[in-house]
Amino acid sequence: MTASIARRPFGETDTGRQVDRFTLACRDGVEVSIVTYGAAVQSVLAPGRDGRRANVALGFPALWQYTADTGHFFGATIGRYANRIAGGRFVLDGVVHELSRNDGDSCLHGGACGFHTKVWEVVEASAGLLALAYTSPDGEMGFPGDLETRVEYRLDGPELRIDYHATTSAPTVVNLTNHTCWNLAGEGSGSVDDHVLRVAASSYTPVDSQLIPTGEIAAVDGTPFDFRDEVAIGARGRDYDQNVVLDSHDGSPALAARVTEPTSGRTLEVLTTEPGIQVYTGTALDCIALETQHFPDSPNRPAFPSTTLRPHEAFASTTVYRFGQLNDRRAG
């Protein structure tokens, strides 16, 4: 099913940069709006069991709310490094790189002025496809190398596919994700405690009090992070902020997670090429984020899958969000 695309102005930044909003839409189906500030998913309209559509992604209606926001990252493309780097530093090829520290002593989601704060360039906008690009200069937020990044959003029927690409002029680290916060009952509808979650992850990366991995990869058995069988999000407490290790990681998009909202019947499946997902239910936010990623603090953890990117290499990652509906009121 070919999606249409529409463009309209979304405002200007304090420095006079124009920001646009693009809407990809399938007739009577899914509709996705993306703003060029932060290359962010602003809204996703998805039909429920009864055919009625609701916005299932948290976002802001005005640009000033995105530029003023300091911690929610609603819908944004996250880089250069999603999640945390301990101590705001890492060593690569014997060189110490000091980073922006914006979460205690850690660098979180690329630092205070990460990719979520940038106005991305539109490089392609056609039926069902929006491609955005940003070049991060050497030393930005402390990261080495000029990093040329491209994010492609494709809407095909019930599937929103995000493809990430990056190249660098010098050895660096890269970990890109999308930070859409979901509420399948509809934005503003209240708690996601009754959403049913399943994640194909038999292991997780335990963390310390600062949410920094200890370096261990442990079994989820007997922990609150065992979502291998369907479980209501609120059944074990609702404040999750944890990386889990996906069972399938063969380089092709594999089913990693499924969320069901039993009342509306809406479902969301997440497929990814990444080795992990950050399950985040947002303190004081009625949402769940499923951030596909390499592991937190990987630059300081040689045993974790590498996030190093070198000039002769090309970074590529894919995540697919597949929307659907239940046929009855049973969650599953």
Please classify residue 199 by burial: count the beta carbons closer than 10 Å to its beta carbon, then call 0-12 exposed, 13-18 middle and 19+ buried: buried
**Maximum distance among all Cα pairs of the chain, rounded to whole angstroms:** 59
Torsion over CA of 50, 154, 315 and 88, rounded to 10 degrees? Answer: -50
Helices (DSSP H) in 152-302: which residue ranges? none
Report DSSP state, residue 115. G
How distant is the alpha carbon of residue 305 from its chain centre? 18
Is 312 catalytic? The answer is no
Distance CA 140, CA 50 (A): 48
Annotated catalytic residue within 179, 195, 261, 294: 179
Is 124 catalytic? The answer is no
Distance CA 168, CA 237 (A): 41
Contact 223, 268 (CB under 8 A): no
Annotated catalytic residue within 195, 274, 291, 294: 291
Torsion over CA of 292, 295, 296 and 300, rounded to 10 degrees? Answer: -150
- The residues that are catalytic are 179, 291
